Structure 1
Amino acid sequence: MQDSGKQAGDSVFVHGGTVPGNPGIPAYVLKLCDPSPIPVVIAVPHAGRAYPRALLDRMRHPDFAAPRLEDRYVDLLAEAVALETGAALLVAHAPRAMLDLNRSCDDVDWEMLGGVPADASTLPGTFSRRARSGLGLVPRRLPGLGELWKRRLDHAELQDRIGAIHQPYHSALASALELIRDRWGAALLIDLHSMPPLAARSAGEAAPEFVIGDRFGSSCDGGIIGSAFAVLAQSARRASHNRPYAGGYVLERHAKRHEGVHCFQLEIDRTCYLDQRQFELGVGFDATVSLLIGLVRRLAVDVAELGRTADRGRWRAAAE
């Protein structure tokens, strides 16, 4: 992490990485309190809006494609929740159109690149499912729009983006989780996203407004997930588990249940907090913030208890 040196009371702001083509704009901003008041980190990898002019000039339909790639304004939800709860907050400023932080560095569609090394066909990720779908490390296509870019991306430029955005962001996230886990004995990452409205799964059944993804139980303690569903149910909000979003690279990389680091992905229907066009904040924003505040506070209690249980286990093992 690269500390900017800026502080506000007991809050520390860490700026790191860079957005290539936008001098002075960090790839991410991390805000946390030291010591942390609760064992929760909220991360927002897909809401960045720091678009370099050159990036927009390369896009075929930037006014349409760029907002569709974003988790539009979900960072504003996260900021309001973190302010009220004391959760650590990591927000990417780099836009998803430039680099998808929820993808592995080798999740690349090599056909969209120029200047590719001769042995690229042997590298991992060449035939990855996400890259084939058009939504790999650098998005290539969108449904209903087709190809996003006017020309190929140079391989060297991709490597620059990885070094300036991907590596610093994930390093900062790992450090924040480790810091909080060391204080509390356990830490929880809520990887926050938004989604277009889902279709109803069957006739007479309303579509979910929230999707909780824990990679089918591998990334998070089941009790935490149960509490999350209970909070949503108490507010009469419809939720789905792992379908259609089970979590991506962020969970794969950072979840370490056996080391006390628990992670889940939370998808929110954009109509819950945006207007009918899903473009600006809507009348549901405040209610969604209140719901998420209650969720974070409830889960913080659960995670703290997990940490105390883990500490007691370590003490018993040390005494034997």
Structure 2
Amino acid sequence: MIWDFTEGNLFDIWEPEALQVPVVLNSPHSGRIYPRCFVENSRLDATSLRRSEDHYVEQLFFSGVELGAPMLSANFPRAYVDVNREPYELDPRMFVGTLPPFANTASIRVAGGLGTVPRIVAENMEIYRQKLPVDEALCRVEQIYKPYHAALRRLLARTHTAFGRAVLLDCHSMPGNIRLSGSGIRPDFIIGDRYGTSASAEMSRLALKLLEDMGFAAVRNKPYAGGFITEHYGRPARGLHALQIEINRALYIDEATLKKKSDFANVADAIRQFLENFAAEVNVGVENVAFAAE
């Protein structure tokens, strides 16, 4: 979809009828509103630009709102600005002009073309025909990145105040060709907790067990341990836990056409069951165990 943003359509906040669980859902990469000027200045066609989306993830996890958790979801695409990065993780080779001295220009993600303003989409396809003005990158940070994170902070703070704790589920999708190194196993889900730093071990084990009990192949941290959002917001010792959940796209879309598979509704129902069981455990038990161990 090609559209031009206004202040009111950068992202959606889906509110439950009442806060019933200490969970906040976040879908930062499922946005599919592409600014007209962005598409016109890209060397890629519309389908290629969409290769880095977390396709329909906000729809897969929307049942969490019905269960009593708020959800934040981006409308802007990851290819335009990636809010799962530091605010100024920028590649100086992409821009005309000088970046501010506080910009992180040397991260691994910048080197790979996947900074706050990405240089590539999946399969290493270059996005832009020519270099961008530095002011364009800084404008995206100020007008899109910062408002998004401000909204996420408010949701987490409200939930933490209401329950004394909050669990952020950062929802993503991964390519269907992902395999675990050395085993060839294709995971259906990957739970990332930044190797135990963004959430308690009990929280991660709970998520894995629930998925495995449903018949899914679920693994922890490899190859995706979580990005900036998981790392930045996860503070287990303060009762703030952040888990990244990656779902294999091959379960629910045709990755060539990006169309939903006939099994889409069944996958969404399974995620609803997972969220219901996860929220129930968080509400009544697992957090008390986690805090006692910390």
TM-score scaled to structure 1, two decimals?
A: 0.83
Mapped to 2, the partners of 1:73 and 1:109 lie a distance apart of 29
Aligned pairs for 1:251-290 within 5 A: 251-275=230-254, 277=256, 279-290=258-269
Give 1:92's match in structure 2, choosing from 48, 70, 74.
74
| 1:258-311: CA deviation from partner (whole Å, max 9, x where unpaired) | 21111110011111111353501112212211221122122212322369849x
| 1:57-88: CA deviation from partner (whole Å, max 9, x where unpaired) | 11111323321021111121122x23432221
Paired position in structure 2 for 1:126: 105
Query: Structure 1 residues 228, 282: CA separation in 2 closer, same or farther (over 3 Å shift)?
Result: same
The CA deviation at 1:199 is 4.0
Paired position in structure 1 for 2:50: 67
Specify the structure having the higher radius of gyration (Cα).
1
Aligned pairs for 1:1-320 within 5 A: 21-23=4-6, 25-33=8-16, 35-79=18-62, 81-117=63-99, 120=100, 122-142=101-121, 144-201=123-180, 205-275=184-254, 277=256, 279-305=258-284, 309=288
Query: Structure 1 residues 165, 155: CA separation in 2 closer, same or farther (over 3 Å shift)?
Result: same
Query: Structure 1 residues 137, 276: CA separation in 2 closer, same or farther (over 3 Å shift)?
Result: closer
Farther-moved stretch of structure 1 (279-288 vs 194-203): 194-203
Mapped to 2, the partners of 1:37 and 1:146 lie a distance apart of 43
| 1:113-162: CA deviation from partner (whole Å, max 9, x where unpaired) | 11225xx4x54411110000011111102454532101112111211111
Mapped to 1, the partners of 2:23 and 2:229 lie a distance apart of 15
Aligned partner of residue 15 in structure 2, secondary structure? strand
On the 8 A contact 2:198/2:231 being kept in 1, the answer is: yes
Mapped to 2, the partners of 1:62 and 1:152 lie a distance apart of 18
Query: Structure 1 residues 176, 76: CA separation in 2 closer, same or farther (over 3 Å shift)?
Result: same
The CA deviation at 1:37 is 1.2
In structure 1, stretches of 5+ residues that fail to align are 1-18, 314-320
TM-score scaled to structure 2, two decimals?
A: 0.90
Farther-moved stretch of structure 1 (161-170 vs 300-309): 300-309
Aligned partner of residue 172 in structure 2, secondary structure? strand
On the 8 A contact 1:198/1:208 being kept in 2, the answer is: no
Q: Matched residue pairs, number?
A: 290
| 1:182-234: CA deviation from partner (whole Å, max 9, x where unpaired) | 11121111100001113443687531111110000111121121111111111
Aligned partner of residue 33 in structure 1, secondary structure? coil
- Residue identity (%): 31
Aligned partner of residue 242 in structure 2, secondary structure? strand
